[in-house]
Structure 1
């Protein structure tokens, strides 16, 4: 499958309808994804990125339907990660001398992935490549989200090829943002940002400011996953600026795991207590062993505060709670509050463990945790409701 974006650019990528997990098993892709590769035809012909290795044969066969491979003058590798570079080894067997333009780190990492010394041309921010009527401008995007990442800008058509930035894991043959349900699109976009780019938020702001300082008009943004931004493309840039500035909504997310439903009852009663005194706040509750971890992380990203609960087991906490806390620690959320809760049978160490993990993850502990023995009775549930009341009061937005 290929389709023309305009007279210069043809999309030659792959829509992966069946993909359900990405980065191994670390990222859920409920709606599939796409690997976007772009063929530019000017006086020179340029291929920007390829596809994931399992689709190599299909990619090259389809590419041959579009063009004689010997006519490809240059290859741009905006990012070395294998979902974008996976078809390079087979493609380079067909056109072995073709120059590959990438960052210095890109060349280093492509060599490490494929153990081939291709014809690498290393570029840095501001370097250009004349391709005829138009030219390509390269912009390093280090740590967005790998050390080798870069953007490529096409003059004339005013298109930014942004690789992983501004993308989503979203499979659709309606390849433009104005043809997609906006609610679905932005939910996938914020999930993508929350799970992948959150640790690099300070760099996101700096890079966007740098790109905007070039005063380059942007009529379209073509990422390497998901749909193309052609209707008001600046909207996704504005969202990234918003998300990168310690984003939060008027929401609290309660995350728990439970053995015999005692901690579940605590979670639900605390939630009721919050809503008793703070009707405006959105409260969402997730069992971390039954809900998708990446969907939970997206909700944490949107929240001003979180509560994390677990039963105590073997002087520790339940495995799904430990896993989600480890994920949050790595994502380095900023300016978010947190507290711990949970049931116990004898030791009750779980609350201290959760609190310590939250502190190490950068959360501000807003209140000592609450723990209840065994299955909470009416008095225990009253304490949970009062605990929720105090959380709700503390999170009231100022008039």
Structure 2
């Protein structure tokens, strides 16, 4: 979910033409002198190069403004092909990436992390370096593609039960079905977010709305159910719209450009989702079903990791041993908060326990940020 966040995130979306490799900047063969420099201020987005060849690139970002900013790379159709969020005033960030396809792109800075951003058109030339295909990685991508499609397919009937309950005016049944309807989305959120128009329709929170944007989707209905404790005629229409939007997502999710490194970065992004939304309690602020989302994010991250593990372990066995350990410890800790076949309401989880969960997420996020580098060796 794309909202104004309170902690740093390096979220890299699965995208059509570009794969960002995080956690491996030290391995880049690009010299700093070859880097694309982006100077972001509150009213400017200065880019040092507006044309560069396809292949490995490095983007060095410096925020010289007074607001937290984001930097995006957009491809055709305004698809998000790379991003870096929460770049604080006076700080720097780096994106190491591979652009394989020539064409027109845009680099955008978003002061305050809202709106369309201040955009600069850039041109990528040439065909990029053609890398030898790795059968093991090809298999991982194929299996992951099946996984994300399966999650979308399974979300539709689960979401339909939720929508039907809303349309019937049954508050109790809608509450029962709410969190269940979101699990598939939470497991594959980075892929969903790569289609930039879907996430704002179905998963935006009230504080993430753009100017003049109508609030639709799960969280608007969540507020009605738990805070307002009633279902309006408008809510019934929103439930129908939610299903239309989710079915649209189901149809396109299989068309996402998925690569080994985008899988790795997507896994890291899922952990970022946990750190910035679930652990803080911001995501499900009315229903307090954050731990169910938490589990979905972790399961999705682990699935991507397990598919990439055969190759990553050959390139960096120490990293995969650490990841195995940290995934195991986080899942074990999460189990402590189970309540039958679900989880405790998050507002019943105390400050000390939230700190434990946060520490476990951070302990996993650090090595997970190196997975893309291990895969790309």
TM-score tier after normalising by the smaller chain length: under 0.3
Q: Could you say which structure has the higher strand fraction?
A: 1
Q: Could you say which structure has the higher helix fraction?
A: 2
Higher relative contact order (CA 8 A, sep 6+): 2
